[in-house]
């Protein structure tokens, strides 16, 4: 289907940790479409976007293991007979990581070590694709930022994602394991957690518009952000999984365009066709972790993995509206 994903995962045995969440469940759908055997390991963490509804159409086609990445024995069992591990499991809320730093540390650092150790001990040939985040960089020192940009994260979640990415690269280099890290900006689309401002703001704004509510923008909303539709995100993960060249590498899979937060909100109202925008002063607790403009280059992944974003913001919003139009209530918990 996708030009980007011409190297299909057909016939591969795939483990998706965090596969009940936003990105993991979209990836699970795609892998099944391509003819892979998919196992999902997820603990339905109440502070993240895991949702059984995300796999309702494929529930009989995937093996679902309700377990925690902190359960080393279960993780070890699950990696033994697989070809690819996509690590989409994480504690994914920036604000929650500031309130409960130990939980974030456990899942986002110790959980990653568990996966790496399990693979090293029981299935060292298995390809690991790990997800990082553009917020690892913090305030930009130069722009567009690329993979060589230093990392000065401004919240605990981003700091732990930065550290766990290094664990992945260390295991790759020290034990000759095939690993790749793909860092994403704000990913949006179907199956996202849209009910809380704790998660990606674009999805939260979409959720507000779908409910015909006010979208609140802090300050003037002039800071630039990168957005990526979830199908493009899935393309990047699959390309990375199937590329030898990607082993030991970090890539930013970002959209081609950058938009101000205010314009993102305006476009959401325009294409979702409901909701309205409202500007208020910055809350103190959000201001301290604000990073200013986030302008990111996608040149490396385009050049090395023949990936490019295919879905523009407007088209992505229309597809997202279509998805939620029949099932919104399942995402408003």
Which residues are CB-contacts of 229 (< 8 A; sequence separation ≥ 6)? 187, 188, 189, 255, 309, 310, 311, 312, 313, 315, 316, 319
Q: How far is the CB of 48 from ligand NAD (least distance, A)?
A: 3
**Residue pair 262/55 in contact by the 8 Å Cβ criterion:** no
Give whichever of 125 and 260 is closer to ligand NAD, judged by the CB atom.
260
Question: Distance of CA 138 to CAs 141, 145, 245, Å?
Answer: 9, 11, 28
111 binds ligand NAD (CB under 6 A): yes
Q: Are 18 and 90 in contact (CB under 8 A)?
A: yes
Asked whether the beta carbons of 226 and 186 are under 8 A apart, the reply is yes
Tell me the two tokens of residue 323.
């998805």
Which of residues 44, 222, 280, 288 is near ligand NAD by CB under 6 A?
44
Question: Which 173-202 residues touch ligand NAD, going by CB under 6 A?
Answer: 184, 186-187, 193, 200
- Nearest distance from C-beta of residue 123 to ligand NAD, angstroms: 18
Closest CA to 302 of 165, 172, 173, 147: 147
Question: Is the C-alpha dihedral spanning 302, 137, 48, 317 positive or negative?
Answer: negative
Residue 68 binds ligand NAD, judged by CB under 6 A: yes
Q: Please identify, using beta-carbon distances, which residue of 24 and 35 lies nearer to ligand NAD.
A: 24
Q: CA 255 from chain center: how many Å?
A: 14
Instruction: Supply 279's token pair.
Output: 């500007």
Among 4, 34, 39, 91, which residue sits at the site for ligand NAD (rule: CB under 6 A)? Answer: 91
- H-helix or E-strand containing 112? helix 111-122
Residue 248 CB contacts under 8 Å (≥ 6 apart), including other chains = 169, 172, 173, 179, 180
Residue of 52, 58, 64, 70 that binds ligand NAD (CB under 6 A):
70
| Host H or E run for residue 190 | none
**Contact string (CB under 6 A) for ligand NAD, positions 138-177, x = contact:** -----------------------x----------------
Give the residue, chosen from 28, 32, 36, 43, that forms a contact with ligand NAD under the rule CB under 6 A: 43
Minimum distance, C-beta of residue 281 to ligand NAD, in the bound complex (Å)? 25
107 binds ligand NAD (CB under 6 A): yes
For residue 131, state whether it binds ligand NAD (rule: CB under 6 A): yes
> Considering the rule CB under 6 A, would residue 18 count as an interface residue with ligand NAD?
yes
Displacement of CA 135 from its chain's centroid (Å): 12
Residue closer to ligand NAD, measured from CB, 123 or 186: 186
Do 85 and 128 contact (CB within 8 A), yes or no? yes
Does the protein bind ligand NAD through residue 92 (CB under 6 A)? Answer: yes
- Asked if 49 is part of the footprint of ligand NAD (rule: CB under 6 A), the reply reads yes
How far, in Å, CA of 282 to CA of 106, rounded? 30
Give the C-alpha separation, 291 to 283, whole Å.
Answer: 14
Asked if 42 touches ligand NAD (CB under 6 A), the answer is yes
In whole angstroms, the minimum distance from the beta carbon of 213 to ligand NAD comes to: 21
Contact between 301 and 236 (Cβ < 8 Å) = yes
Quick one: 217 or 228, whose CB is closer to ligand NAD? 228
- With binding defined as CB under 6 A, does residue 89 bind ligand NAD? yes
Number of residues that bind ligand NAD (CB under 6 A): 32
Of 85-93, 209-217, 295-303, 318-326, the window that binds ligand NAD (rule: CB under 6 A) is: 85-93
Nearer to ligand NAD among residue 252 and residue 271 (C-beta): 252
Binding site for ligand NAD (CB under 6 A): 17-18, 20-24, 42-45, 48-50, 68-70, 88-92, 107, 111, 131, 133, 161, 184, 186-187, 193, 200
């Amino acid at each position: 289907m996708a030009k980007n994903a011409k190297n299909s995962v057909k016939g591969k045995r795939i483990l998706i940790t965090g596969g009940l969440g936003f990105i993991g469940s979209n990836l699970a759908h795609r892998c099944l479409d391509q003819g892979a055997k998919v196992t999902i390991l997820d603990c339905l963490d109440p502070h993240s976007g895991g949702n059984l509804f995300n796999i309702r159409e494929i529930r009989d086609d995937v093996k679902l293991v309700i377990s925690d990445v902190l359960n080393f024995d279960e993780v070890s069992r699950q990696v033994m007979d697989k070809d690819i591990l996509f690590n989409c499991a994480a504690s994914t809320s920036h604000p929650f990581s500031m309130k409960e730093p130990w939980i974030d540390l456990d899942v986002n650092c110790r959980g990653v070590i568990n996966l790496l150790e399990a693979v090293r001990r029981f299935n060292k040939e298995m390809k690991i694709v790990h997800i990082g985040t553009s917020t690892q960089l913090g305030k930009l020192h130069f722009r567009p930022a690329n993979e060589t940009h230093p990392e000065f994260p401004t919240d605990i979640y981003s700091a732990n994602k930065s550290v766990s990415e290094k664990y992945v690269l260390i295991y790759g280099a020290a034990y000759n394991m095939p690993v790749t890290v793909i860092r994403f900006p704000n990913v949006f689309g179907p199956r996202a957690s849209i009910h809380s401002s704790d998660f990606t703001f674009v999805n939260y704004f979409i959720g507000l518009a779908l409910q015909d509510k006010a979208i609140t923008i802090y300050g003037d909303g002039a800071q630039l952000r990168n957005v990526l539709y979830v199908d493009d995100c899935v393309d990047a993960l699959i390309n990375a999984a199937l590329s030898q060249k990607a082993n030991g590498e970090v890539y930013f899979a970002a959209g081609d365009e950058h938009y101000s937060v205010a314009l993102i909100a305006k476009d959401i109202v325009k294409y979702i066709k409901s909701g309205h925008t409202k500007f208020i002063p910055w809350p103190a607790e959000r201001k301290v972790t604000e990073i200013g403009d986030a302008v990111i280059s996608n040149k490396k992944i385009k050049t090395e993995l023949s990936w490019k974003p295919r879905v523009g913001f407007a088209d992505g919003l229309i597809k997202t509206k279509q998805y939620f139009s029949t099932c919104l209530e399942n995402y408003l918990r």
